[in-house]
A and B are shown apart, each in its own frame.
Chain A
């Protein structure tokens, strides 16, 4: 069973539908005990970093996610959920993340060459940087759907795949059993479904 963490941030319906489509049982939950019982954990999220980190902490779910990660459970952060895995977020102030991956989530705007628009909205090609079981069904250059204005600044060791948008955007990050996708696998058509399938098999 895959636990989808519900902390009042974002659209969980599509994510649950995509897992159901793959025949994977999932449970939307805010219950730490249920997260502990799950085989895999997904941390979704859209919106602002600080607000989301606060909501997660208010429900005690920051601890639940950290515990799951420490227990070696496969964990997948999606979009803002991926950003929360890092140490710090710089969206409307300086906010503390979950600290499961080293790095800072920073605005793309000062780093972009001028002609590119923000947010980055649309399909961008994945360049695979490291072999990882999460991308075992994905080929180099396949497209995934991004919607974001902030990106993770982290060491190359943690970037499993990236996309180019004026800057190198870490598309898939990870260390051990902790993974994150900046794009939305649940909205990336067949490619995204293959990533979710691989995650469920971890």
Chain B
């Protein structure tokens, strides 16, 4: 039986992990390679790295980090941030990424999804979207949540999958950083319209929030969070034991399964 995935997300700038709260007020947390190793040992099912480097020159620092992670941590790695072309896919895939997440780049040029899916397969292309309620509509925002594109999030999800996205990360700007739980109505609406796996992001503040997510929106496959894991407000072994006790299927370390 397939298990629900728990995914820590690491924002990397200048080779260091940072985490924004409501996309503002960034704080330095730790070394990405150390953190990746730590999360792997804690039972993370996958890791997401966002490259939030400002300049093109700094991209090589990021790919260097990625290579070091991929040589020591053998779980799936998804990379996003500044992906605007098939060449960008190529650059990170060569350094150990398994999946590449597109956001603003795909909004600017939706054909990127199609091109990349043809070249690398649908399973490689993750459509990440930042969504916020505007006038009662789920609206897609670009540029790290700063620019209202006017696009309807549900339509964009359907279009992204039709173009070849093999997975969707739905990040709710309304719940992000607030730590009062995932945006269940948004996730439910998107899950109803597309058939690819969905990763929920934005709003996790406790282990109960993950249980609520998987129980109330069973179509969601994974929960992604950053700050609560980095700050150790919730640890992954504790979270997974809790979810298992709630009857939610998760991958537990072999030691515990055998116990």
User: Chain A interface (Cβ within 8 Å of chain B)?
Assistant: 11, 13-14, 17-18, 20-21, 46-48, 115-125, 139, 141-143, 145-149, 164-165, 184, 186-193
Contact = CB atoms under 8 A, between A and B. Distances in A.
Nearest to B121: A47
A13 B2 contact: no
A124 B254 contact: no
Contact of B2 (A122, A141, A189): A122
Interface stretch (B68-76, B80-88, B178-186): B68-76
A123 B3 contact: yes
A14 B70 contact: yes
Given A13-B70, A122-B222, 18 more contacts: A13-B95, A17-B74, A46-B120, A46-B121, A47-B120, A115-B219, A117-B195, A117-B197, A119-B122, A122-B5, A122-B45, A125-B1, A139-B254, A165-B2, A184-B98, A187-B98, A189-B74, A190-B74
B96 A14 contact: yes
A198 to B, nearest CB: 15
Interface of B: 1-5, 40, 45, 67, 70-72, 74-76, 93-98, 119-124, 166-167, 195-198, 218-219, 221-222, 251, 254, 257-258
Contact of A121 (B166, B251, B254): B166
B1 A164 contact: yes
A148 B197 CA distance: 12
B3 A124 contact: yes
7 contacts: A17-B70, A17-B71, A17-B96, A122-B222, A123-B45, A124-B3, A143-B251
B127 to A, nearest CB: 13
B3 A122 contact: yes
Nearest to A147: B123
A52 B124 CA distance: 16
Contacts of B166: 119, 121
A128 to B, nearest CB: 14
A165 to B, nearest CB: 6
Contacts of A21: 71-72, 74
| Minimum-distance CB pairs A-B, first 7 | A17-B71, A123-B251, A143-B251, A47-B121, A147-B123, A121-B197, A117-B197
B74 A13 contact: no
A128 B248 CA distance: 23
A4 B258 CA distance: 34
Nearest to B195: A117
A46 B71 contact: no
B258 A186 contact: no
B254 A142 contact: yes
Contacts of B2: 116, 120, 122-124, 146, 165
Nearest to A112: B195
Contacts of B251: 123, 143
A79 B246 CA distance: 33
Contacts of A141: 257
Contacts of B119: 47
B71 to A, nearest CB: 4
A33 to B, nearest CB: 26
B90 to A, nearest CB: 11
A146 B70 CA distance: 18
